[in-house]
Structure 1
Amino acid sequence: MKRTVTKAIFPVAGLGTRFLPATKSVPKEIMTLVDRPLIQYAIDEAREAGIKEFIFVTSRGKSALEDYFDDSPVLEAELRRKKKPELLKELKRTTMDSGQIAYIRQHRAKGLGHAVACARRLIHNEPFAVILPDDVIAAEPSCLAQMVEAYAETGGSMVAAMEVAPEKASSYGILDIEPGADPENPISRVRGMVEKPEAGTAPSNLAVIGRYILSPRVMRHLSGLDAGAGGEIQLTDAIAREIDGDGVHGFRFEGQRYDCGSKAGFLQATVAFGLARDDLRDELAAFLADLSLSVK
């Protein structure tokens, strides 16, 4: 029986060391991409996909992230007084209703699999999504919404996948898909998964990126895992155990993924999202054109 996906886990316990010194006092997840923090893009995507319950796996120093979702009565009153309804509407989008959001602490950094497992008591026996806010995906409909629609056909577990250059495969979990897969079909049945394979050993060029819809059994697999690649509990290792069960499928989504966990990726996303905005496009494009001429 295929069940509706209404819960999502957001692993946000990382220290964001690649963005120091900014992340010394500001959680990476609320760093601003144009005029919205990274976490807001993830929340908006989850809402579009029908997610109703939002579970954040946090750590010490993330209080600003938690405060972001609270009511702001003083600011709301000021916007009403100044008759700024559009800004008030945007502010309301950042507020989460009581009971809709939960916070779980990951006390020790033991990998993505461990972070997901920290939320096991809130998942019960339901399929659930996992969203990594570092992966910002420009897509219409959203990546997770595309996956939810595909999941209605497959059940089991599903991972978002994209093609990567062979020299970059060692930075990802790589899918080994069944031979003879239709290249026009975005859904591929998975027969194996390799986390960060050594150069030249990757079974394909399909890399797992930060969107998952998982069977609740994955939580049980995580509880029995030993440390894997990098000395961490790997989520892909637990998902791989489902291959011989209800199955695992890779889903090649339509859209552009930006790795906002890296400085270069964050800058690329800022330019791309800025150019996509009607109110920013012309001025930003003119600046980039002038900058390109000056660099030459």
Structure 2
Amino acid sequence: MERTKTVRKAVIPVAGNGTRFLPATKAMPKEMLTIVDRPVVQYALDEAREAGIEHVVFVTSRNKQVIEDHFDDTPELISSLERSGKEAAVSELGRLLPAAGAVSFTRQQAPLGLGHAVWCARDLIGDEPFALLLPDMVSFGPRGCLSGLMDLYGEVGGNVVGVEQCAPEEASQYGIVGRGAAVRHGFAVSHMVEKPAPGTAPSNLFLNGRYILQPEVFGHLARQQRGAGNEIQLTDSMLKLSATQPFHAHVYEGRTYDCGSKQGFIEANVAFALARPDLGGALFEPLRDLVMAHGGGARAA
């Protein structure tokens, strides 16, 4: 039996325009909008590092230079903080800084879809399995979703996707997987359907933006075939790959917030703030009062 190759690299696509957040994203990438005090993209990198990823490839586009700057050293700022005695801030910035050479950046010159963005990272990934994290989808739980995928990958190899449950009536809004045979950290994927018609979904388990994929997916993406929205869709190539390679799914026990939507972004800010020892206690009562003032008590009753 061939030994399962270690997943060392991850791709984080950050080339989107963020039009749903205009005017905030007119001059600032949507990935730099903050959940409490960290940009959205930082959560994706932290999750990748927690899962043991050694090298992250960011797929960027025009006007995304600030993302590269965020993951670079800032000696002037560090010196200023040290002179001010703000050692905690210095320590936190140092902890979040990637190691030298541990991140790379490549460009997606045209907005041709997620599949095309992943394909743009092919030469930096090479002939090895890789993780893919969609930064808009932010994991909230005791540990990040990707760590669970890595556990399952260590058992079964192949391709692994992260899934969560949604309300059955919402299944038509997502990519949905069918549940096959169970394994210790998940199950075999029997179907993959992108936004199934109402009432036809094989389950209520939706793809939550975390993947481990084998490099053969690049061969399918290289055909540049257009799918939904006239874009090169990752799901289309995953479906083709599933004809020759196994796919398994890990059910994430935390919650994923879709920070590409305004509602999900606001919910994530509330959830992360309430979970923090320095903020949660002070925020709970004001938030409760706001909810009650806007009719939350009446709706709950």
What secondary structure does 1:241 align onto?
A: helix
Partner of 1:158: 160
The superposition leaves residues 258-289 of structure 1 with CA deviations (integer Å, 9 ceiling, x where unpaired) of: 11110001111111111101111122111112
Q: Structure 1 stretch 89-98 or stretch 120-129: which is displaced more?
A: 89-98
Q: Which residue is 1:237 aligned to?
A: 236
Deviations 1:219-264 (A, max 9, x none): 1111125111222111112112232323011111211111111000
User: Helix, strand or coil for the counterpart of 2:25?
Assistant: helix
Q: 1:96 aligns with which of 92, 98, 105?
A: 98
Aligned to 1:5: 7
CA distance in 2, matches of 1:279, 1:69: 25
Equivalent residues of 2:11, 2:59 under 8 A apart: yes
Taking the TM superposition and a 5 Å limit, the aligned residue runs for 1:142-221 are: 142-178=144-180, 181-182=181-182, 186-221=185-220
Q: Percent identity?
A: 51
Residues 121-163 of structure 1 show CA distances to partners (whole Å, capped at 9, x for unaligned) of: 1111110000011111112232111111110001010110111
Q: Distance in 2 between matches of 1:230 and 1:93?
A: 40
Partner residue of 1:255?
A: 254
Aligned length, in residue pairs = 293
Which stretches in structure 2 are left out of the alignment for 5+ residues?
296-301
User: Quick one: which amino acid aligns to residue 50 of structure 2?
Assistant: E
Q: Are the counterparts in 2 of residues 190 and 250 from structure 1 also a CA contact under 8 Å?
A: yes
How far apart are the structure 2 equivalents of 1:70 and 1:85?
Answer: 19
2:30 aligns with 28
Do the aligned partners of 1:68 and 1:94 also contact (CA within 8 Å) in 2?
no
Q: Deviations over 1:83-106 (max 9, x none)?
A: 222110111133233321111111
Normalised by the size of structure 1, how large is the TM-score?
0.95
Among 107, 110, 115, the residue aligned to 2:109? 107
* Matched residue, 2:298: none
Q: Which segment drifts farther, 37-46 or 233-242? A: 233-242
CA RMSD, 1 decimal? 1.5
Counterpart check, 1:268 vs 2:267? yes
Kept in 1, the 8 Å contact 2:148–2:185? The answer is no
1:47 aligns with 2:49: yes
Q: Secondary structure at the match of 2:135?
A: coil
Deviation sequence 1:192-212 (CA, Å, 0-9, x none) = 211122222222211111100
Tell me if the contact between 1:188 and 1:250 (Cα under 8 Å) persists in the aligned partners: yes
